Chain A
Amino acid sequence: MGKHVITLMVNGESHRLEIEPRAHLADVLRDELALTGTHIGCEHGVCGACTIRVDGAITRACLLLAVQAEGAVIETIEGLSDSGEIGDLQDAFRHRNALQCGYCTPAMLITAQDLLLHNPNPDRATIRDHISGNYCRCTGYQAIVDAVETVAKARQTAGERA
């Protein structure tokens, strides 16, 4: 099968890759760039485990062909961890035991951050709604909702103080 050459900007690094046109972005991130923090739970766009940020918007990496991401700014859990952008969420997840096996967690964190960027003061129902595209089979969700709520409140307070 003919390969395509694409350039991807991932977590601030530029990568020139030769890939099959049918390869989806989740596979390319994992297999070509060893960014294994992006997980795969279904490869049909349902579970949300592969959620990443593409040009600032949360996206299911299994639903996007890598060739479609040419030129896009891609952020994965690795980049968001290194930059410290979601450090407070990560801390809250840890303290609230909002993860058990951790397989849903990177995507859940990215989804939660997306909510808080757009709605800094969500109530519990809004949080539940927003993460409703992300499966978690372990926690039953409540601890995740608690953790996100805690961070929302903490950011609000910090914002007021600033």
Chain B
Amino acid sequence: MSGPLSPLDRPNSYIGRTVPRPNLERLVEGRGTYVSDMTLPRMGHVVFVRSPYAHARIVDIDTGAAKQGEGVIAVVTGAELVEQCSPWVGVLSHLKGLKSAPQHAMAVDRACWQGEAVCAVVANSRAQAEDAAELVQVQYQELEPVTDMRTALEPHIPVIHAELGDNLAFERSLDAGEVDKAFSEADAVAEAEFVFGRHTGVTLEARAVLADWNPGERRLTVYQGTQAPHMMQNIFAKHLALEEAQVRVVCKDVGGSFGIKVHVYADEMATAALSKRLKRPVKFVADRIESFVTDIHARDHICKGRIAVKQDGTITAFAIDDLTGIGPYSMYPRTSAIEANQVVNLVGGPYQARNYRARARVVFQNKNVMCQYRAVGHPIACSVTEGLVDLAARAIGMDPLEIRSRNLIKDDAYPTDSPSGLKFESLSHHASLAKLKQMMDYDGLRAEQKRLRRQGIYRGIGLASFIEVTNPSAAFYGVGGARISSQDGVSVRMDATGAIIVQTSLTEQGQGSEALTAQVVASALGVTLDKVRVILGDTDNTPYGGGTWASRGAGIGGEAAWQAGKALRMNILEVAGTILQTVPDMLDIDQGVVVDKGTTRERIGLDEVARIAYFRPDTLPADFQAELLATRHYVPRQYPFAFTNGIQASWLEVDTETGFITLLNHWCVEDCGTIINPQLVDEQIRGGVVQGLGAALFEHCRYDERGQLTNGTMADYLVPMASEMPDIEVGHVVSPTLESELGAKGAGEAGTAGAAACVANAVNDALEPFDVTITEIPLTPSLILNALGRRGG
């Protein structure tokens, strides 16, 4: 025998193995149950009348004609619905100074963005509700909208919520080390203003909710495409004047989430309130046009950045000043200040420089609400940091890979921290960089780039190192007073045939929560995967817990599954030991059979253990009770977040005549600790990268100066399509977190964190002969032509 086995070394373990996700047959055959597919008896369909203005007083709403419409069940105004649903304020106490105004399920006397609901029409069919909605007469008095975040704080600009005093929602400053000294002693200083467009998630299934208030049971059941059912249970109870025990949230198949579906949406609250008011099920499915003006938007930052560097390549300081506009309200309950806060936390994160100054300001504006979308803050921080590092390299004439290798935190420096106070347990920047360099053949590409340039072909290489926040503890939301669980729970039980049923508080929107839970439990127990069934997404039928967001599923829910599986194994072995009259310690379970530990000698099948435990307990000692259900919870305590790291690279070509960018290759090396299912991790990375590429090249919610979204259809808002996307090569370095036995960290957002940054760097690298630097995304052809001084091509 060589060295002690890790607890993960189980016979026939599924950890680290690619196996197909359970339950996919259903989805490939079109047999899924998405909320948009569901109907209930007596169900009404709600359609919302939405404000066409970015900012307007509601003078009068005439619902008379609409109420006469065919099939109409009710027409309810925002003012009327206040009876059923109390307003909320999206603040958290640990984000000091964050303020927001009360937001209602529908606007009561003032609409604050184009698309805010002002009146609801419920009818027997959606078409009937749409017809009647046309008959609702709303008289608006248009108010001056605040749209430009750059001027939102100026004295002549109206204050959106007078009671707040100004349009500043949140501000945070940080000053670490000796920033002024570092800049004055630098050999070179580079600076730039980085501009990030607003974009949104475009989940292919729009937001959908079906609320069913049953007065007979005095219970509200909400079928919702949400990432956090227990959070929603609390919110529905709180604002609809119910006890939490009266609310059940069920989350079946969800057609994409990406952070879009982890928030409290006013129209979804209104739907639940309408069900309560009308005492019957009410369903809301956003249409695509509504999605664009109501699904949270993200990013929209203008960030000034500076970097100080020595001639030998040592980066000595970073400084940023970030500004972001969040719409008229801070979202509830996670707030819209988290992204800017993350930007402050994360800039410079991969590097050794200890001098760092940051300011972030978050302002209100009359545009759609803005909140956390996949990789929250990371793409901003990464683009600013990596853009500055490239500028510094250029200023001192150093290769971009070389400057990174001189400044990334050394792999043997852990545990360590960042100037902003982030704690790093164990990262692998240099191992990742080395792996990337080899995967992409960096030197070969540089040679090719040089050769092609002579032919007038402009290709660029872009690099982006990143860190990613995963496995958030209570430090994320709980400490700020939000009732959002950072803990997850898993129950594992053996049924009377020896099959295993698992209930987890994680949710599934395609990431593979079900698969990883099944793989972990099967491995911990010693059974085959086909014996494990996972139940999730139902507050009545799972342990209490957080759900699936912030790259927490594998690291937190996975560890709870591991511990629960182990506990049940011990319980089963106690029963088996009693039956076999041996000590449980001498036994193990392998492929569903109790064996002598360390051997494959079969002693008794789990089906037989179950049969005796459930049906012939009379044959067991009188003082012995079999417990074939075990529940465990897990939450990280030692580290507020389990940071992961990685590096991405892009190889692309810029057509300097048309401004078009062709992505040729993309690489990502990342370190998410223990990998449970390699294929699922790789596909999370790829999907995340492509969302980041969308932001880099296409995706942009364009508003005019009156606060009107001008491209709110799928035809006008561009997203990445198959033909424009490159194949993406994924590599791994594995540094497990020692905080849990499983050692897994998250992987869901790493791709999105760094993709745009390396594309922007690659574009600037390609255009180096023209001496232009572009620090704005999306990198549209016209932006590139403008930078090249070829306006209009």
Identify the A interface with B (CB < 8 A): 20, 22-23, 30-31, 35-44, 46-47, 49, 76-78, 81, 90, 93-97, 99-106, 109, 124-125, 127-129, 131-145
Contact = CB atoms under 8 A, between A and B. Distances in A.
Contacts of A97: 20-21, 512, 679-680, 683
Interface in B666-725: 679-680, 683, 686-691, 713-715, 719-725
B689 A38 contact: no
B722 A137 contact: no
Given A101-B204, A137-B691, A37 B510 contact: no
A132 B28 contact: no
Interface in B715-767: 715, 719-725, 727-728, 751
A42 B714 contact: yes
Interface of B: 20-21, 24-25, 27-34, 36-37, 125, 127, 201-206, 253-258, 287-288, 509-512, 679-680, 683, 686-691, 713-715, 719-725, 727-728, 751
Contact of A46 (B20, B287, B715, B723): B715
A101 B509 contact: yes
B749 to A, nearest CB: 14
B31 A37 contact: yes
A141 B27 CA distance: 17
A39 B254 CA distance: 12
B21 to A, nearest CB: 7
A18 to B, nearest CB: 13
B510 A100 contact: yes
A128 B686 contact: no
Contact of B725 (A96, A99, A101, A141): A141
B223 to A, nearest CB: 14
Contacts of B723: 125, 128-129, 132
B24 A134 contact: no
A98 B162 CA distance: 51
Contacts of A49: 204
Q: Which of A94, A109, A129 has the most CB of B within 10 A?
A: A94
B288 A132 contact: no
A128 B722 contact: yes
Given A100-B511, A124-B727, 16 more contacts: A22-B127, A31-B125, A36-B33, A43-B287, A46-B715, A77-B29, A94-B21, A97-B512, A101-B203, A105-B28, A106-B30, A127-B722, A128-B723, A136-B722, A139-B686, A139-B690
A103 to B, nearest CB: 3
A2 to B, nearest CB: 12
Nearest to A82: B29
Contacts of A102: 24, 27-28, 32, 253, 255, 510
Contact of A140 (B34, B258, B728): B728
Closest 5 CB pairs of A and B: A37-B30, A100-B510, A102-B27, A103-B255, A140-B690
Contact of B37 (A36, A77, A95, A139): A36
A30 B32 CA distance: 13
A53 B576 CA distance: 56
Contacts of B715: 44, 46
A93 B26 CA distance: 12
Q: Which of A36, A44, A102, A105 has the most CB of B within 10 A?
A: A102
A38 B30 contact: yes
A31 B24 CA distance: 24
